[in-house]
Homo-oligomer: A and B are copies of this chain.
Amino acid sequence: MTIREMARQAKDASVTLAALSSDSKNKALQAVAAALRKCGDDIIAANAIDLEAAVAAGLPGPILKRLKFDAAKLNDVIAGVESLLALSDPAGVTLAATELDQGLNLCKVSCPIGVIGVIFESRPDALVQISTLCLKSGNAALLKGGSEAMHSNRVLATVIAEAAEKAGLPTGWLQLLETRADVNEMLKQDDLIDLVIPRGSNAFVKYIMDNSNIPVMGHADGICHAYVDDDADLEMARSIVVDSKCQYTSVCNALETLLVHRAIAAEFLPAAAEALRSRGVKLLGCPDTCAIIAAEPASEQDWDTEYLDYILAIKVVDSIDQAIAHINRHGSGHTDVIITNDEQAAKRFQSLVDSGNVFWNCSTRFSDGFRYGLGAEVGISTSKIHARGPVGLEGLVIYKWLLQGSGQVVADYAEGRKQFTHRPLPRD
């Protein structure tokens, strides 16, 4: 099949999917969980081929770790699929209801987006998460995983697609792309595909945007900031900064820039620097920072850099407003935190920082679909429309307006023979 034919089949499937009952979708999810359990050996064997090739190619340790799909990972993803059963169906929900006139009722009802293309990285468990989130929300999906996970993804996609189809889902609801050329072809199908979710670097997301008219929900880099206010509990600030930077450095919600109020810089920075250095963090600083602690001078470019590594850029600021301006200028709209005991300052920070996740007195690493209690996530959106922050089931639906009449025509209202009532109705 060509990519166009695959997209056409997904589009046709999406229409049927949109009309499936919650019960049918849950039965399909149960079938998927059972099939994953039954085919566990095949999946792990396929993953062994990928792992062997990755080792032979000399891929770095962290990638090997993410690529690995063993019995423990299998149990995790099966538990993840089963946890989706308990979540309520995001589609078919009446979001608003209005009587426009007697016998003329308007409902705003949530529905699936349609066909979603997701391009993700090396973890095979991401394929399971994304495909089952799409199933639960009633979307057809075209998926492209990391090439180093090709064998694992083939088996996983086949097992999931076939189990769901046997349980009543339409053929073609889930399809796997394998090459970059496939992705480029997919980006041209703007009449068939409704949304693309690229997970990867800013450069990659920009490449997708430059090469497609399909709307893009950006899952891009995170240049996350912590601002330590002059009214902060400095011990708490140190602990939050260490966790935000070091708990897992290679992820988008890890800290990249630390902003410190001038009034507490001389007291806070030495203790923070010691804690960070003992974890192996290299420090870069503005001139004021370098006057207080030993740090390499930060360049202008450092404020715009996502290190994803044991590196932290530090800047001393004169005020909370300077911190907010710095974040709005250099941040990526991902996750930023203020550490302060001053509620007014916290509210100001949370209302003026234009990011998807704005925190007060806790680690940036909490910015995550599981930790938010959303179930799984298809990614973290740094877009400013549709869905922002961790995107779970709710980010995968849109709505349609359903109007039920009894023969009403607009001429009667335009010519004054009838009037609108616009009475809110219960959503039932």
Interface residues, chain A, with chain B CB atoms under 8 Å away:
14-16, 18-19, 98, 100, 104, 106, 113-114, 194-195, 206, 209-210, 213, 215-217, 233, 236, 239-240, 242-244, 247-248, 324, 328, 346, 348, 350-352, 354-363, 365-367, 371-373, 383-386, 388-390, 398-411, 413-414, 420, 422
Contact = CB atoms under 8 A, between A and B. Distances in A.
A125 to B, nearest CB: 17
A15 B354 contact: yes
29 contacts: A15-B354, A18-B351, A18-B352, A106-B372, A194-B384, A195-B385, A215-B216, A233-B407, A236-B406, A242-B409, A247-B410, A248-B414, A350-B402, A356-B400, A358-B403, A359-B402, A359-B404, A359-B405, A362-B407, A363-B408, A363-B410, A366-B403, A371-B420, A373-B422, A385-B385, A385-B386, A386-B398, A388-B399, A389-B400
A398 B373 contact: no
B400 A365 contact: no
Given A357-B401, A402-B358, A243 B386 contact: no
B366 A408 contact: yes
Contact of A414 (B247, B398, B407): B247
Given A362-B104, A409-B240, A215 B213 contact: no
A210 B398 CA distance: 24
B100 A408 contact: no
Contact of A361 (B106, B324, B405): B405
Nearest to A410: B365
Contacts of A407: 233, 236, 239-240, 361-362
A355 B98 CA distance: 19
A121 B374 CA distance: 42
B98 A385 contact: no
A359 B107 CA distance: 10
A401 B337 CA distance: 12
Nearest to A346: B404
Contacts of A366: 100, 104, 403, 405, 408, 410
Contacts of A346: 404
A90 B100 CA distance: 21
A327 to B, nearest CB: 10
Given A213-B209, A247-B411, A407-B239, A356 B401 contact: yes
Contacts of A210: 213
Contacts of A216: 215
Contacts of A371: 100, 410, 413, 420
B194 A400 contact: no
A388 B398 contact: yes
A240 B362 CA distance: 58
Contacts of A209: 213
Contact of A411 (B15, B243, B389): B243
A404 B98 CA distance: 36
A318 to B, nearest CB: 18
A244 B187 CA distance: 36
Contacts of A206: 213
Contacts of A195: 384-385
